[in-house]
Structure 1
Amino acid sequence: MFVPFSVRDFLDRAVTVYGERTGVVDEPRQPAESWGRISYARLGELARAQAAGLDALGVGPGERVAVVSHNSARLLASFFGVAGHGRVLVPVNFRLKPEEIAYIVEHSGASVLLADPELAGPLSGLPVKHRFTLGAASDEALLRFGTEPAPWEPDENALATINYTSGTTARPKGVEITHRNSWVNAVTFALHAGVSDRDVYLHTLPMFHANGWGMPFAMTGLGVRQIVLRKIDGTEILRRVAEHGVTVMCAAPAVVNAVLAAAREWDGPIPGRDRVRVIVAGAPPPTATVARVEYELGWEFIQIYGLTETSPLLTINRTRAEWDGLDVQARAERLVRAGAPALGVSLRTSGSGEVLARSNVVLRGYWQQPEATEEALEGGWFHTGDGGALDGDGYLTISDRKKDVIITGGENVSSIEVEDVLFSHPAIAEAAVIGVPHEEWGETVKALVVLRPGMNASEEELIGHCKQRLAGYKAPTSVEFRTELARTATGKLQKYRLREPYWAGHERRVN
């Protein structure tokens, strides 16, 4: 028997098994009215009402619905109301500039835009057929309660989402994630993380980011209570852990650092000790950070490695029975590795040391970019763009980034995109953007520039120039002026040479 996977399977099970249980506790400080505590039965009603509303608009299966929002219960419901009923959800990074969001909406061909109230004004000029502000009267009118949505025959190879990610090109690429990709990722992730219906999950991770790493699906299917956190704050995370009995969360290293900093000022015992497990990815954290999570917070540290293109789980590194007798430092030294392949994942490295992967979680392709798809999937393996090595025990260690991507605070930044903006400044003759180590963010963006003869520009001016045209996290945090930049004989920038002085003393060229 063959029954196609669908992301709606997760909500259908939650409604059937855990219908009366509180499923979601919405962020109380939403700019629109918070949904408060809603049961899984109510979440199912809201998702069906949204799907019925899209039916009424004439938005059929396969059509794209873009959503730009901070974490909210409304965004969580859209994963099921949109993707669960045959449409394609396009979750967009709310930190992007309006012109960057406009490109994604246009490129994806989205006919509907759902916007967070804080973002509705700046996005009001986007040329999209249907526009709704989440929580506004028009958005509430979209929900058609009492009307069953049109039936959709699940197709596990159909797209569930298109997630745009910065890469080696100036424009982000749309990663095509199918229902099969999402289903396998969610189930595998939940298995490795030991998720059960006794867990309480805190959404510290932005839901737009690789679909919240698949947690909206996994946690829903297992009846986990989900606590929505709109904006990151270390003290607020600790407070939510204490208030709601949180047991699991996902976070970029920068979020872990924020919690560690807040813990030093926390009055009383750290909440969640011997109960919370924090799943970390975005960049390999220092060994000291891993150790501090255990001995300062008393939380279990789990590291994963993956990409938006892999839904994202490829590897997981979690303490194991063989390590129980080790001290904190020795365990931390093992946990800083990217981890062992997740169930169903095959890994190898190319002759140049690039990490290659095969799995049911690997993207179908890049939206409307067949050449980029062919390059990424050459030879039947996904080319991650990361350099690394597989140890004798099967564990992967990431050592370098082959793609020209900087990961700062868990967010991808295309160095080419930033260079394009720098070159639009009249004083710039040459520019190279690199990632350099940063204690809090893992990496930060640094610009190396050569000015045109007879022209001047200050560091503050160039940073401001970038911030006017890019999301703030993409702008350089420092600018260094040079008389020339290292190039090959054919004129190609030698970024590895430009990066080298800043990474001296680091075993890995990612942080």
Structure 2
Amino acid sequence: MDYLNEIAPADTMVHVLLERRAAVAPDATFFSFGEDVHTLGDFNRAANRLARNLEASGITTGTHVAILMETSVDYLRLWLALSKLGAVEIPVNTAFRGDLLKHVLVTCGATACIVDEKFTDVLREAYPRGAPFEVMFCRSEGAAAPAPEFRDFRVLLEPADDSDLRRPLRHDAIASIIFTSGTTGPSKGVMLSHHYLCAYGLMYAEINGLRDDDVILNFLPFFHIAAKFLTIATLVCCGRMRLQKRLSISTFWEEVRTHGVTNFVGVGGICNMLISRPESPEDTSSTIRTIYAVPDPADIHREIERRFGCKLTTVYGSTEVGLPLRRSVHDDYRPGSCGRVSPYYDVQIVDENDQPVGVGETGEIVVRPKRPFLIGSGYVSMPDRTINAWRNLWLHSGDRGHRDADGWYYFDDRATDSIRRRGENISSFEVEILVAKHPAVAEAVAVATPSEIGEDEVWVLVILRENHDLTPEDLLQHCSRHMPYFMVPRYIDIVDEVPRTSTAKVEKYKIRAAGPGSSTWDREAAGWMITRDGVFPPGTRVVPKAGAR
């Protein structure tokens, strides 16, 4: 179905989609979480109560609200409640801490903050003298009252008018600010209009041919745009969503069978993990119809479709540029390609002067929409970076690619220094800054190197200060204290020098081309383990928490 053409632009707001579905089918299942099932009507009424209580607390249209919470029913209600009010939701990566967290909170301009209890200490570490917010709520799983500086989230769940608010909101207003990795600088907050955020979900539903009998598995955190567009796609296709805190490979197929899952996002090497299990006669009887694989695993693409009886779709896209290249369920398969140009966008491959290059030639991928508000609205508090990225009437992706004579496009590499690991975008700049905090480190260089299961691993090369010593194990411990777990490097080299240009700039392309060598320290080969709960030395028996990956 052509979902994007079915809804008037002024109605492309996530809360409007919810309210309309709830009005038509209030008793229909919206999603399940754990053992609980939530209907459209009950969920919408709960979001309305929450919205009115938020407004009574001082959070209203235009308020920037930072959220540091894990996936929960409360978070999902909170997101929809903020949309109903016209507040700006700023979901923060729950693994951020210290300077990274402070940068996000300062840059986004938040005056309100809502956190899970487990992140209150992380917030205090970022703001040891007190966080500068006018309104602060803490959500606790238990009965204990929050710390004195926080208001209790439970007051937001108290009884209130549960009818739709119907605030006169504009679809072009900013609904959310999502931070994506920086390249030669700190992480950037992409401003997303209501229309753009909704359109992302509508395009996802189109690409995957979603129907009213689809069950969409959503295990991605809500500080990623994917968790949001999966929720929106569920509303527009009139299907159901199975919500999880995070992916568990060990219970994946049990979830598929129990809930009849038909669609999920195969990001971060998940396809490789699933295909690695022994083949079973049950594979072809799976309910899976479509896997949205980004990137498409060309080496195992046909095996996945054969083995699981499904169709793989793929795109080229980002938080900023939308989904300008796509291969939908209706398209042929072209190995290695990320698709053809979407009917909603123009795409070109250009040289350093923004001039189009020829067929087969590599250049930067640039994008512009054919309709208003189908790309991001700029970077919050970064006007210079916004102007540079949107120069010459094209949004510059920072990625390199080429196209063939039949109009199929191929992603070649990143023109930037970002690293993609297990579905997370990592700024090499931020890795380098945090590694260099170690007193023995004079200079740090972070680059991507291919992972065995797809995407990248983080590789760090460090030059030490004179008369200082440092072991890879010591640096690993340092990194685990200062970085999100997914950013901690797997490979470490302590070197005397790195390749440079005549102007002393590091030639990262040479480092990437050479790859880790025999002297490179490999965390996994050495037996060290990194999880969400910390770093564990060789020989430690680590029992993962339920649902951990």
Instruction: Say if 2:156 is the partner of 1:139.
Output: no
Aligned pairs (5 A) from 1:59-208:
59-97=59-97, 99-123=99-123, 127=131, 128=133, 129-133=135-139, 138-147=152-161, 148=163, 151-208=166-223
Q: How far is 1:144 from its partner?
A: 4.7
**3-state DSSP class of the match of 2:320?**
helix
Q: Using the alignment, how far apart are the partners of 1:38 and 1:149 within structure 2?
A: 18
Structure 2 equivalent of residue 42 of structure 1:
42
Please tell me the residue identity of whatever aligns with 1:133.
R
- In the superposition, relative to structure 1, how do residues 48 and 422 fare at CA in structure 2: closer, same or farther (>3 Å)? same
**Structure 1 residues 54 and 273: CA distance shift in structure 2, 3 A:** same
Identify if the C-alpha distance between structure 1 residues 187 and 378 changes in structure 2 by more than 3 Å, giving closer, same or farther.
same
Q: CA deviation at 1:171?
A: 2.4
2 CA distance for matches of 1:363 and 1:176? 6
Q: Does 1:210 align with 2:225?
A: yes
Q: Does 1:400 align with 2:407?
A: no
Residues 420-451 of structure 1, C-alpha deviations (whole Å, 9 max, x = no match): 12222232233211000001252010012222
Q: Secondary structure at the match of 1:487?
A: coil
Distance 2:453 2:9 in 1: 48
Counterpart among 276, 293, 318 of residue 304 in structure 2: 293
Alignment of 1:25 onto 2:32 = yes
Match of 2:156, as an amino acid?
L
Do structure 1's residue 315 and structure 2's residue 309 form an aligned pair? no
Contact 1:51 1:82 (C-alpha < 8 Å) held by counterparts: yes
Q: CA separation in 2, counterparts of 1:395 and 1:416?
A: 32
Task: Indicate the residue corresponding to 1:346 in structure 2.
Answer: 346
Match of 1:13 among 6, 12, 20: 20
Q: Secondary structure at the match of 1:50?
A: helix
Q: Deviations over 1:107-146 (max 9, x none)?
A: 3232333323543454466513222216566323203544
Summarize the alignment of residues 433-448 of structure 1 with structure 2, pairs less than 5 Å apart.
433-448=446-461
1:418 shift after superposition:
1.0
Moved more, 137-146 or 362-371: 137-146
Return the letter of the residue paired with 1:180.
H
Amino acid at match of 2:105: V
Q: How far is 1:308 from its partner?
A: 1.3
Deviations 1:380-405 (A, max 9, x none): 11111100012222222110101110
- Using the TM superposition, give the Cα deviation of residue 76 of structure 1 relative to its aligned residue in structure 2, in angstroms: 2.2
Q: Identify the residue that residue 264 of structure 1 maps to in structure 2.
A: 278
Q: Which runs of 5+ in 1 are unaligned?
A: 29-35, 324-330, 505-511
Q: Residues 3, 171 of structure 1: CA spacing in aligned structure 2 closer, same or farther, 3 A cutoff?
A: closer
Q: Provide Cα deviations, 1:49-107, integer angstroms capped at 9, x if missing partner.
A: 11101111111201112222332222222331112320111111122225533432333
Choose the corresponding residue for 1:496, options 473, 495, 509: 509
What is residue 4 of structure 2 aligned with on the other side?
none
Structure 2 counterpart SS, 1:366:
coil
Q: For 1:199 and 1:134, how far apart are their aligned partners in 2?
A: 33
Instruction: Kindly provide the amino acid, as one letter, of the partner of residue 294 in structure 1.
Output: E
Task: Report the residue type matching 1:174 in the other structure.
Answer: G
TM-score (norm 1): 0.88
- State how far apart, in whole Å, the 2-side matches of 1:108 and 1:449 are: 32
- Return 5+ residue gaps in structure 2 as ranges: 1-7, 144-151, 353-362, 518-549
Relative distance call for 1:52 and 1:124 in structure 2 (3 A) is farther
**Inter-partner Cα distance in structure 1 for 2:228 and 2:365:** 20
TM-score by length of 2: 0.82
The alpha carbon displacement at 1:411 in A equals 0.7
Deviates more, 1:271-280 or 1:416-425: 271-280
**How far 1:192 moved relative to its partner?**
2.0
User: Is 1:230 aligned to 2:277, yes or no?
Assistant: no
Q: Is the 8 A contact 2:472 2:492 kept in 1?
A: yes
Q: 1:481 to 1:503 in 2, by over 3 A?
A: closer
Contact 1:71/1:203, CA 8 A, preserved across alignment:
no
| Candidates 430, 451, 470, aligned match of 2:443 | 430
- For residues 120 and 240 of structure 1, do their structure 2 counterparts lie closer, same or farther at Cα, with a shift above 3 Å needed? farther
CA contact (8 A) 1:314 1:345 kept: yes
Question: Which residue does the alignment assign to 1:357?
Answer: 367
Task: Pick one of 359, 368, 371 that aligns with 2:381.
Answer: 368
Instruction: Supply the distance in 2 between the matched residues of 1:450 and 1:380 (Cα, whole angstroms).
Output: 41
Matching residue within 470, 475, 479 for 1:462: 475
**Number of matched residues?**
482
Identity %: 26
Distance (Å, rounded) in 2 between the aligned partners of 1:259 and 1:496: 32
The Cα of 1:246 is off from its aligned counterpart by: 0.6
In structure 2, do the counterparts of structure 1 residues 437 and 448 end up closer, same or farther at CA, with 3 Å as the change threshold?
same
Change (3 A) 1:3 1:448: closer
Range with bigger deviation, 116-125 or 19-28: 116-125
The one of 227, 236, 253 equivalent to 2:268 is 253
Give the drift of 1:481.
2.6
SS at match of 1:191: helix
CA contact (8 A) 1:242 1:271 kept: no
For 2:515, the aligned partner's letter is Y
| In structure 1, C-alpha distance between the alignment counterparts of 2:142 and 2:90, rounded to whole Å | 20
Secondary structure of the equivalent of 2:282? Answer: coil
- Cα distance in 1 for partners of 2:141, 2:374 equals 33
SS of the residue 1:365 aligns to = coil
Distance 2:158 2:376 in 1: 33
Corresponding position of 2:426:
413
Tell whether the 8 Å contact from 1:199 to 1:224 is kept in structure 2 after alignment: yes
**Which amino acid counterpart does residue 72 of structure 1 have in structure 2?**
S
- The Cα offsets for residues 318-337 of structure 1, whole Å up to 9 and x where unpaired, read as 4546x4xxxxxxx5xx2532
- Greater mean alpha carbon deviation, residues 7-16 or residues 421-430: 421-430
Residues 225-263 of structure 1 show CA distances to partners (whole Å, capped at 9, x for unaligned) of 1111112211222111100101111131322233333x4
- For residues 241 and 203 of structure 2, the distance between their equivalents in structure 1, rounded to whole angstroms, comes to 19
Residue-by-residue CA offset, 1:175-217 (whole Å, 9 max, x unaligned): 1000121122222221221111111111023232125251211
Which string of whole-angstrom CA distances, capped at 9 and with x for unpartnered residues, describes residues 351-393 of structure 1? 1411001124211111111101101101111111100012222
Which of 279, 282, 306 is the matching residue for 2:317?
A: 306
Measured in 2, the distance between the counterparts of 1:274 and 1:215 equals: 18
In 2, the alpha carbon distance for the partners of 1:315 and 1:434 equals 27
- State how far apart, in whole Å, the 1-side matches of 2:98 and 2:17 are: 33
Where do 4+ consecutive residues of structure 1 move more than 4 Å?
134-137, 148-151
Q: 8 Å contact 1:19–1:40 — kept in the other structure?
A: yes
